[in-house]
Amino acid sequence: MPAYRNYVVVWVVLLLLTAVTVGVSFLSLGLWNAAVALGIASLKAVLVALYFMHLRHEVKLVLGFATFPLLILGLIIFGTLTDFLYR
Amino acid sequence: MKSEQPKHEGAPVSARLGIWAFLATELLLFGALFTVYAVYRTVYPDLFHQEHLKLNRLLGALNTILLLTSSLSMAVGIAAIRRGRQQVLKIALVLTLLLAAGFLGIKYLEWSEDFSHGLLPKSNLFFGLYFMMTGLHGLHVIFGMLVMAWLLVCANRGQFSADYNTPVEVTGLYWHFVDLVWIYLFPLLYLVG
């Protein structure tokens, strides 16, 4: 059962990453705390999207529908933040 | 059993496009809150740091584990029904429902504790955002549970098979999205504040 086994492996990696991110949060790294937490969260998100949500085997059209909104969200956050900081 | 999975097994492309288009609107719904978070976190870093320490990091981590595991059981359920295994699908759906209920139970404990310490949405900007974001996410969990309960009823009637399992797969995509939102909420609210 290769599919089940893949899912379990991904799940174990996700749990390990959760443990790492909780562990790192107890250290005082200044700005790096946020960077590490967001980096690990994004790594987990990519794993969930690729394996659990099957984007690894997805057709290009659906892949476009799945990733394009991220660009829009990035623009919204970037635009709002720069407006606030450099007003 | 084939060693390589066929490229597009499962739901038709139109169904997958539909749910991903819906998830795009969901992303922007949560995205508005994430934007507000990013702005206030930048403007009031000290407030966010001081207030986030009042959250229970371990309960948050436990809830992360519950949701990740519920995503696993959902994925296993879909893989099972693609092979026509109805019994495994039913067990997977029940497990997913139980894990989701556990998540809400812990959320309830956390909120009651916050309330008993006088931490309310109106307390400050951080807790306003915390209750709004986890509340909206919790509503999504409840909605997902309702849909899964309906799936379980259909599965009990034997409506799903290796040839037809689109509702299961589409619900799975929604459920993994709810998991994705939590993957970001947990570090942003509990870990780095």
- Residue B145 CA to residue B171 CA, distance in Å, equals 10
CB contact under 8 A, B38 and A37: no
User: Is pLDDT above 60 for A19?
Assistant: yes
C-alpha–C-alpha distance, residues B75 and A52, integer Å: 6
Q: Kindly state the helix (H) or strand (E) to which residue B11 belongs, with its residue range.
A: none
Which CATH number characterizes residue B47's domain? 1.20.120.80
In a domain, B90, yes or no: yes
Are residue A47 and residue A76 in the same domain, yes or no? Answer: no
In a domain, B95, yes or no: yes
Same domain, A46 and A61: no
A8 and A49 housed in the same domain? yes
Segments of chain B with pLDDT less than 50: 1-7
Q: Is B71 within a domain?
A: yes
Q: Would you call A49 and B5 a contact, using CB atoms and an 8 Å cutoff?
A: no
Q: Are A49 and A62 found together in one domain?
A: no
Same domain? For A63 and A34 the reply is no
Residue B58 in domain: yes
The confidence score (pLDDT) of residue B5 equals 46
Residue reference for tokens 């999504």: B140
pLDDT tens-digit map of A62-77: 999 999 999 999 999 9
Within 8 A by CB and 6+ apart from B170, the residues are B11, B15, B16, B18, B19
The reply to whether A49 and A82 lie within a common domain is: no
The answer to whether residues A7 and A44 belong to one domain is yes
* Other beta carbons within 10 Å of A1: 12
Domain of B79, in residue numbers? 28-191
pTM metric for this prediction:
0.93
Query: Based on the structure, what is the number of domains in chain B?
Result: 1
Probe site for chain B from A62, A63, A67, A71 (most B CB atoms < 10 A)? A62
Q: What residue in A sits closest to B171 (Cα-Cα)?
A: A53
Distance CA B190, CA B100 (A): 20
DSSP string, chain A: -HHHHHHHHHHHHHHHHHHHHHHHHTS--THHHHHHHHHHHHHHHHHIIIIIT-GGG--HHHHHHHHHHHHHHHHHHHHHHHHHH--
In this structure, the answer to whether residues A42 and A68 fall within a common structural domain is no
Phi, psi of B180 (to 5 degrees): -60, -45
Q: How many domains does chain A have?
A: 2
Taken in order B59, A53, A10, B150, is the CA torsion positive or negative?
positive
Query: Residue written as tokens 């955002």?
Result: B129
* B149 lies within 8 A of chain A by CB: no
Q: Is the ipTM of this complex over 0.90?
A: yes
User: Are A59 and B8 inside 8 Å of each other by CB?
Assistant: yes
Task: Report the Cα–Cα distance between both ends of chain A, in Å, rounded.
Answer: 57
Domain holding A16, by residue range, is 1-53
On whether both A27 and A39 belong to a single domain, the answer is: yes
The C-alpha atoms of residue B107 and residue B190 are separated, in whole angstroms, by 13
B59 contacts B110 by C-beta, under 8 angstroms:
yes
Confirm or reject contact between B180 and chain A (CB < 8 A). Answer: yes
Res B10: pLDDT: 77
| Residue B126 domain flag | yes
Q: What is the pLDDT of residues B143-191, one digit of tens each?
A: 999 999 999 999 999 999 999 999 999 999 999 999 999 999 999 999 9
Angle between helices B57-82 and A2-25 (to 10 degrees): 170
Q: Is B49 exposed, middle or buried (0-12, 13-18, 19+ CB in 10 A)?
A: middle
The answer as to whether B13 is a domain residue is: no
Residues on chain A touching B188 (C-beta within 8 angstroms): 37-38, 41
In a domain, B154, yes or no: yes
Q: How confident is the model at residue A1 (pLDDT cuts 50, 70, 90)?
A: low
Q: Specify whether A6 is located in the same domain as A42.
A: yes
> In angstroms, what separates the C-alpha of B136 from chain A's closest C-alpha?
18
Rg (CA), chain A: 17
